[in-house]
Structure 1
C-alpha cells in the first residue's frame, strides 16, 4: 500500500503551541428534535482571523451565537481565555458581536453610535470620546463623525458598525456575515480593510460566512461546516488544494469530479480507470489506497490546459468538444464535453486584449493536466 505524499508541501496551521484562546469541546445544540450543532470540537488561537464557512442551515451562526452567549449549548463546554463560559451571560463575556444588519441608530450621529456602548458601561466622557476618536481614525471615518447613518454609503455604515464593536476593546469579536450587504466590488475592498484593522488591533476575530472567496481572502484558518459538524479545518491553501472530502472540494471553489477504480497502486504513482473520462487518469504520487478501490478524482478548472494539438508526453490528455465559452474579462471559462458525455469546466487567463486564433465554440480540442495537479478523494 502506497502512502500519500504531500506534493504541494502544504502544512497545517502550526504557528504556535500555546494554549488555545478559544476551546470548544464536544458542543451540541438541539432545538427540539433538530440538531443544529453536532458534537463540535475546535481550538482557535489568540490573534487569529478564523472563518466558519458553510451553507445555509449548517450550524455556523448557531455556533457563533453560543460563543456570544445568546444560545446555551445542550451539551459540551466552551472556554474563552481559559474561562468556562457556562452560566456567563452575553453582557459579561469578553466578546462583542457585529451583525449583518449593522443595527445602527438612525437618529444618532456616527460618533454617538460608536460611543453608545461606552456610555452604557459608564465610561467617563473624556475617555469615551478619546477612544471613539481613535477608533474612527482607524476605520477612516473621522471626517464623518457628525453624519447620520442615512448620509453614509453601505461600506461606511459597515465600518461604523465595526468601530462600535471594537471601541469596547473586546478580546474576541464575532462577525456574522459582516460583508453580506455590500456589492461585490465594495465587499472585495472592505475585506482587505478588515484584515488591516484586525492585524493592527490584534483582536481575535471569528467570521461566519457562506462566501468561500471571502473566507479564503480573510482567514488565517477556515473551519468548513456541514450538517452541524466541522468537516475540515485548515489554512486556505490546504482547504483548497487538499480537501478532505468531495463535499469540501465542491463547496470551496469549482471542481471537475470523476469517479473511478484504482488499477495500479505503486509507491510513486497510481492509475485510476474512470468511465467518466473514458480512460485512465495518471496520478504522479502515492495515495493510501488499494487495487480495485473505488474513489474520486478532482481537478480544478484553472489546472486544465486546452490545445488544438495533443500535448507531447502528456500523462493525462483527452479529446473534447468546446460547447460554450464565457468571457469574464480577466479570464474565459470553457465548457467542454468528453466523448463519454461528461462535461468539464476549464478556465484560461486572458493575457492579451486582442488574442488572435483563440479556441472557440464547436472546436475539437485536447484537454490535459499535470499528474500532480488533481486531488484523490476517498470520501
Structure 2
C-alpha cells in the first residue's frame, strides 16, 4: 500500500511540475493561429502555442524567423493581423501594453544612465503612483534577490555587463508581472558571464514563480534555461518540446541541424521489418554483405535497430550526433562501422572534436569526452581509423 501511494504521489508531483503533459491544465498563455504581416511579408504565420503558469519557455530560432515579432505581439507593441492571444484567461485584443499583466526586458537593457541602480529599479513603481514606503521595500527586496543590494547607489556606467543585466531584470520584475518577456536577455554578455548568468536567471525564475518567455538564437542558452523550447523557422513553430526531446528526437532535418551539431545522411529504405530497417546511403562505403546488400546498388548501409513507419524505396534522412559516435583503430562489431581518415582534431578542453573523411569524400564529425588528463595512445590527425555507432544512436527523419 505504501509503495503504491509513493509511486502515485511521485507521478502527481511530476505532472504538477510538467503541466503540459496532463492535458487537463489550463494554459496561462494561449496563442491561437496568430499571424502578423508587414505589407506582403508574413513575419509570423498561423502560430498556435500553449504556455503554462510557472514555465520558463524559450522561443529559439535564427534571425528573421519571427520570434521577436511574436514576443512583441504578446507585449502589445505589435497588433496581430489575425488570430487571438489570451493571458491568464483574458483576451488581449485591444489592450495596450501598459494595461497587460506583462513586462518586457529588452536586449539593450535600456537603463537610465543618469539614475542610480536603486532609482532605475524603482522608476516604474513610482510612475504607477505606488507609495514610496512600498517602493522602498520592494526595491530593496528585489536588489537583494539579484545580489545588487550593495551597489544600489551606483550608476549603470559603474557596473559590469552582468550587473547591468541584473538591474534590468530587477526593474522588470519589481512590478510583479504575471508574465515576463525577455528578448535576447543575455546577448550582450561574453560567453563565460552568459553561462554564469543563465543559472542565476533560472534560480530567480524558480524563486518567484513568474512565467518567463525568452527569445534567443542561442541553442545552448535555450537548452540550459528552458522547461520547454519552441523552435521557429520562417514565421512558424516547427517543434515544441522539452530540451532532451528536441535534441534527441528532432522532428525534421531543420531542427536536427539547427539544435546542436549533427551528421545527416540521405538514404532509401532497402529493408523494412517490424523491428529494424536498413537504409542504402550513397555517401557511405560498402563494408559488409548484409542481407540488403544486393538491393543497395553499391551504396553503404545504415542499420536502424527499431521499426519505422515507411515503405521500400522510400527516401528518408538519418541524423546521428557526434557524441554518439565511437572512433577506433580497428573495425567494430557494431552494425554501423566505416573506415575514415582523421583529417583534423580540435581540442576543446572537456572534449575533442574529430573531422573525419570517408573514402568517398564525405566528411563526418565525431566527438569524445576527455576523461583523462593525458592519453598516450589517443587517435590523432593523419591516421586511418574506424568510426561506428549503435543501431539506436540516430534518429530517422521523414521531412
TM-score category (smaller protein):
over 0.9
Measured on the aligned residues, the alpha-carbon RMSD in Å equals: 1.1
Does 1:223 find its partner at 2:230?
A: yes
Q: Assess if the C-alpha contact under 8 Å between 1:12 and 1:234 holds in 2.
A: no
Aligned to 1:307: 328
SS of corresponding position for 2:21: coil
Could you list the per-position Cα deviations for residues 159-195 of structure 1 after superposition, in whole angstroms to 9, with x for gaps in the alignment?
Answer: 0000000000000000000000000000000000000
For residues 202-241 of structure 1, what are the structure 2 equivalents within 5 Å?
A: 202-241=209-248
Q: Assess if the C-alpha contact under 8 Å between 1:61 and 1:208 holds in 2.
A: yes
Aligned to 2:375: 355
Aligned to 1:96: 103
SS of corresponding position for 2:256: helix
1-structure distance, mates of 2:105, 2:227? 19
For residues 122-137 of structure 1, what are the structure 2 equivalents within 5 Å?
A: 122-137=129-144
Q: Assess if the C-alpha contact under 8 Å between 2:122 and 2:171 holds in 1.
A: yes
2-structure distance, mates of 1:360, 1:75? 57
Aligned to 1:366: 386
SS of corresponding position for 2:260: coil
Q: Assess if the C-alpha contact under 8 Å between 1:12 and 1:235 holds in 2.
A: no
Aligned to 2:311: 290
Q: Shift in Å at residue 12 of structure 1? A: 10
Which deviates the most, 272-281 or 172-181? 272-281
For residues 1-379 of structure 1, what are the structure 2 equivalents within 5 Å?
A: 13-14=20-21, 17-278=24-285, 279-311=300-332, 313-379=333-399
2-structure distance, mates of 1:16, 1:155? 39
Where does structure 1 differ by over 6 angstroms across 4 or more consecutive aligned residues?
A: none
1-structure distance, mates of 2:229, 2:366? 26
Q: Assess if the C-alpha contact under 8 Å between 2:30 and 2:85 holds in 1.
A: yes
SS of corresponding position for 1:91: helix
Q: 1:243 to 1:284 in 2, by over 3 A?
A: same
2-structure distance, mates of 1:171, 1:13? 18
Q: Shift in Å at residue 352 of structure 1? A: 1.6
Q: 1:209 to 1:325 in 2, by over 3 A?
A: same
Could you list the per-position Cα deviations for residues 67-111 of structure 1 after superposition, in whole angstroms to 9, with x for gaps in the alignment?
Answer: 000000000000000000000000000000000100001111000
1-structure distance, mates of 2:301, 2:19? 31
Could you list the per-position Cα deviations for residues 347-377 of structure 1 after superposition, in whole angstroms to 9, with x for gaps in the alignment?
Answer: 1111122210111111110000000000100
1-structure distance, mates of 2:397, 2:58? 24
Aligned to 2:9: none
Q: Assess if the C-alpha contact under 8 Å between 2:320 and 2:393 holds in 1.
A: yes
1-structure distance, mates of 2:314, 2:149? 62
SS of corresponding position for 1:174: strand
Q: Shift in Å at residue 141 of structure 1? A: 0.6
TM-score with structure 1 length normalisation?
0.96
Which deviates the most, 27-36 or 14-23? 14-23
Q: Assess if the C-alpha contact under 8 Å between 2:19 and 2:25 holds in 1.
A: no
Q: State how many pairs are aligned.
A: 368
1-structure distance, mates of 2:238, 2:20? 16
Q: Assess if the C-alpha contact under 8 Å between 2:28 and 2:52 holds in 1.
A: yes
Unaligned runs of 5+ residues in structure 2 are 1-17, 286-299
Q: Shift in Å at residue 336 of structure 1? A: 0.3
Q: Shift in Å at residue 17 of structure 1? A: 2.5
Q: Assess if the C-alpha contact under 8 Å between 1:13 and 1:234 holds in 2.
A: no
Aligned to 1:7: none
TM-score with structure 2 length normalisation?
0.91
Q: Assess if the C-alpha contact under 8 Å between 2:340 and 2:359 holds in 1.
A: yes
2-structure distance, mates of 1:169, 1:277? 57
